[in-house]
């Protein structure tokens, strides 16, 4: 078959190679973009359904308001973080926090070289089924998790609640299966 253009056949063949290479690179780029979108969407979906709590050792200078940390084997929510320095002395950091098991507000002073464990807990929504027992110390609230397993929690763990209504939604914050905090949604 005769080439249509008046150029040499070798030039026509080189041109076809370049066009073929461009088509191959374009399709490879499209596949890469599609797979990048799939990975991004998967990461976004999986971040909502994290199946485990994470712990990280951080410097006291990185602690901020709202973080959940562990101080002296107690889970704490940071309320306030203030650097404190006198003259030429070493810096210190005052942290005001709520102990999650007792609900007490406390203040702790750290040196600048201190480290604490930052915790990002699991979040599990449960439905309140019923309350059993009598007295605040003996009362037990029975919850149902997503798989309808019953979870029994003492009423004393519900900070600020003298009773919990049946049918309410309770959010359990857990670290390695241990309940850190319970928040009741009305």
Model pTM above 0.75 = no
pLDDT of residue 79: 95
pLDDT: which is higher, 22 or 4: 22
Is the pLDDT confidence value at 109 over 90?
yes
pLDDT of residue 51: 56
User: CA-CA distance, 108 to 115, in Å (whole number)?
Assistant: 13
**Dihedral angle sign, alpha carbons of residues 92, 93, 96, 102:** negative
User: CA-CA distance, 72 to 175, in Å (whole number)?
Assistant: 16
pLDDT of residue 92: 92
pLDDT: which is higher, 96 or 136: 96
Query: Minimum mean pLDDT among 8-12, 53-57, 174-178: which range?
Result: 8-12
Average of per-residue pLDDT values in the chain: 81
Q: Which CATH number fits domain 122-185: 3.40.50.720, 2.40.50.140, 3.30.43.10, 3.40.50.10490?
A: 2.40.50.140
The HSE-up count of residue 32 (CA atoms within 13 Å, CB side) is 6
Is the pLDDT confidence value at 150 over 80?
yes
In the chain, CATH 2.40.50.140 sits at 122-185
> What is the share, in percent, of the chain residues with pLDDT greater than 90?
33
pLDDT tens track for 155-182: 888 887 778 888 899 999 998 888 888 8
The single-letter DSSP state of residue 157 is: G
| Class level of CATH domain 54-120 | mainly beta
In the chain, CATH 2.30.30.30 sits at 54-120
Tell me the β-bridge partners of 99: 76
């Amino acid at each position: 078959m005769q080439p249509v253009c008046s150029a040499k056949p070798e030039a026509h063949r080189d041109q076809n190679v370049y066009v073929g290479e461009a088509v191959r690179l374009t399709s490879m780029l499209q596949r890469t973009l599609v797979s990048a979108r799939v990975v991004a969407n998967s990461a976004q979906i999986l971040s909502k359904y994290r199946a485990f709590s994470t712990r990280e050792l951080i410097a006291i200078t990185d602690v901020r308001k709202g973080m959940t940390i562990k101080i002296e084997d107690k889970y704490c929510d940071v309320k306030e973080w203030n650097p404190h320095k006198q003259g030429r002395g070493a810096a210190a950091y005052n942290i005001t926090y709520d102990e999650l098991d007792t609900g007490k507000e406390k203040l702790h002073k750290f040196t600048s070289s201190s480290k604490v464990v930052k915790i990002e807990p699991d979040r599990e929504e449960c439905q309140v089924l019923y309350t059993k027992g009598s007295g605040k110390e003996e009362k037990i609230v029975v919850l149902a998790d997503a798989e309808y397993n019953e979870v029994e929690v003492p009423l004393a763990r519900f900070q600020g609640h003298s009773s919990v209504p049946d049918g309410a939604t309770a959010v359990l914050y857990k670290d390695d299966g241990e309940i850190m905090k319970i928040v009741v949604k009305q």
